[in-house]
């Protein structure tokens, strides 16, 4: 079986088991996805660290006219998330109706199917966020 035939999830299993970011050892800035150069101070002294998997919604919008890969999922919610460790990222928020969305909503990171790639049928997975029911 060729590498292309193995689902992406299994090829990149470590990435999905432990969501990783990077932190600048000089100024403390945090990034996701991991970077090699700090945008704040220009340092190359960054190291990987395990991201917090919970956070809160800082802002959000509804995507009604997405690119072709995501067209069958529209409309969907895209949010600016601040993780409990301070890292900020943009991700889809799923398993919630638009009426239930609000600033400050507690969310947790999950691995979910994103789309299938063309004729090859390779399934792409991404981090998405769902409401953290325990912390309502």
Please write the tens of the pLDDT for every residue from 121-132. Answer: 677 778 899 999
- Give the domain extent around 47: 3-135
d(CA 70, CA 42) in angstroms, rounded, equals: 35
- Helix, strand, or coil here: 109? strand
Q: What is the pLDDT of residues 31-83, one digit of tens each?
A: 988 999 999 999 999 999 899 999 999 999 999 999 887 788 889 999 999 99
DSSP 96: S
d(CA 117, CA 67) in angstroms, rounded, equals: 13
At residue 3, the pLDDT reads 46
* pTM of the predicted model as reported, rounded to 2 decimal places: 0.77
d(CA 12, CA 35) in angstroms, rounded, equals: 18
Count CB atoms within 10 A of the CB of residue 65: 8
Number of domains composing the chain? 1
User: How many residues would you count in the chain?
Assistant: 136
Closest CA to 70 of 17, 124, 5: 124
At residue 19, the pLDDT reads 83
Whether residue 23 is predicted with pLDDT greater than 90 in this model: the reply is yes
At residue 8, the pLDDT reads 53
């Amino acid at each position: 079986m060729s590498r292309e035939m193995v689902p992406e999830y299994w090829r990149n299993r470590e990435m999905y088991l432990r969501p990783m970011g990077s932190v600048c050892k000089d100024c403390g800035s945090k990034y996701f996805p991991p970077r090699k150069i700090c945008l704040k101070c220009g340092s190359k002294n960054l190291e990987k660290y395990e991201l917090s998997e919970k956070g809160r919604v800082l802002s959000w919008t509804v995507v009604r006219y997405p690119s072709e890969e995501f067209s069958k999922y529209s409309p969907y919610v895209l949010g600016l998330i601040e993780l409990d460790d301070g890292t900020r990222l943009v991700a889809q928020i799923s398993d919630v109706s638009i009426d239930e969305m609000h600033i400050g909503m507690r969310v947790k990171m999950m691995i979910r199917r994103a789309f299938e790639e063309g004729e090859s049928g390779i399934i792409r997975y991404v981090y998405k966020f769902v409401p953290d029911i325990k912390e309502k």
